[in-house]
């Protein structure tokens, strides 16, 4: 696909465009056939490839872990059980080290976040032309296979964590306690008049800090994975620039893929760890 009929800029734009379903300019609903058409669909458009791959990978995670649970044995464990036990122990240690309260939801949440994001990130190691080429055989114009390079996916997960954080903040501290944290910190005074002046200032500072949590959580994951995908696409272009550059591109691709294994794991771990920390903050009263 690289360079067959597309220029380098068109090739990059093609690989960074999602398969989008939404409302066309004439009022009909359908799949966009160009990046401009996808942009015109607006807020209510759905990225079908992001939805498909994220749900598929989430389903695979549930299937294999349920299979391990159904076939668990107290004797010598098989490969799948051994792997699942190792992952669960790793997550359990992470939760114990960062979460100081008691909530049975946090460990399963951390496990789901880590495995799901890792699997979505792992799709970045699939050669950039393979799946889009296969999709093209079936008349599918665009196919992005890494859901975490779509800000809709990363913001969706971040907002989910943020929603749980708000829920438990209010549940544990009460609405007054939650609002007290937003209005009576960091500036305090024994003088009621001065304290009243501090309230809007405190609220502005704490509200910005509160909103920054899901935004930074989403953008960190999206930015790192988007940059990694872009590098793979740029390397793929080198295969069509002659034998020497093609060979050099192969070496670069191998090196970047090996290094990228660390990135995709680290980004899943960071997202999970911050989610645990945010949940811990929601349970601690100040």
pLDDT on residue 88: 92
Predicted TM-score of the model (pTM): 0.89
Helix (H) or strand (E) holding 42: none
- Exactly one of 94, 121, 169, 224 is catalytic; name it: 224
Q: What per-residue confidence (pLDDT) applies to 217?
A: 94
Report the alpha-carbon distance of residue 284 to residue 249 in Å, rounded. Answer: 51
Is 216 one of the annotated active-site residues of the chain?
yes
User: Which helix (H) or strand (E) element contains residue 140?
Assistant: none
Which residues does 111 contact at the CB level (< 8 Å), separation at least 6?
Answer: 87, 88, 91
What residue ranges of the chain have pLDDT lower than 50? 1-4
Q: Would residue 220 show up in a list of annotated catalytic residues for this protein?
A: yes
For the chain, where are the E strands, in sequence order?
20-23, 29-31, 46-47
Whether 284 sits among the annotated catalytic residues: the reply is no
Q: Which of 101, 209, 216, 284 is catalytic?
A: 216
pLDDT tens figures, 119-164: 999 999 988 888 988 988 888 888 999 999 999 999 999 999 999 9
């Amino acid at each position: 696909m690289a360079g067959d009929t597309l220029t380098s800029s068109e090739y990059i734009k093609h690989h960074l465009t999602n398969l989008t379903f939404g409302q066309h300019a004439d009022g009909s609903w359908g799949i966009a056939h160009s990046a401009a058409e996808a942009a015109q669909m607006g807020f209510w458009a759905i990225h079908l490839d992001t939805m498909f791959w994220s749900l598929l990978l989430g389903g695979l995670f549930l299937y294999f872990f349920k299979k391990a649970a159904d076939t668990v044995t107290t004797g010598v464990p098989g490969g799948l059980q051994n792997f699942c036990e190792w992952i669960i122990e790793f997550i359990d240690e992470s939760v114990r080290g960062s979460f100081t309260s008691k909530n049975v939801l946090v460990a399963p949440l951390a496990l789901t976040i880590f495995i799901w994001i890792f699997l979505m990130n792992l799709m970045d190691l699939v050669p950039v032309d393979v799946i889009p080429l296969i999709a093209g055989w079936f008349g599918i114009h665009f196919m992005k296979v890494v859901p975490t390079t779509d800000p809709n996916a990363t913001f969706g997960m971040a907002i989910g964590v943020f929603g749980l954080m708000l829920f438990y903040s209010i549940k544990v501290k009460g609405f007054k306690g939650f609002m007290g944290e937003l209005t009576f910190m960091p500036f305090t005074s024994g003088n009621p008049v001065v304290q009243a002046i501090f309230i809007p200032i405190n609220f502005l500072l704490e509200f910005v800090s509160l909103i920054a949590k899901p935004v930074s959580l989403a953008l960190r994951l999206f930015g790192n994975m988007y940059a990694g995908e872009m590098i793979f696409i740029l390397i793929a272009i080198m295969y069509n620039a002659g034998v020497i550059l093609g060979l050099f591109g192969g070496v670069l691709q191998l090196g970047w893929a090996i290094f990228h294994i660390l990135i995709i794991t680290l980004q899943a771990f960071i997202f999970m760890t911050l989610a645990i920390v945010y949940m811990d903050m929601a349970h601690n009263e100040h």
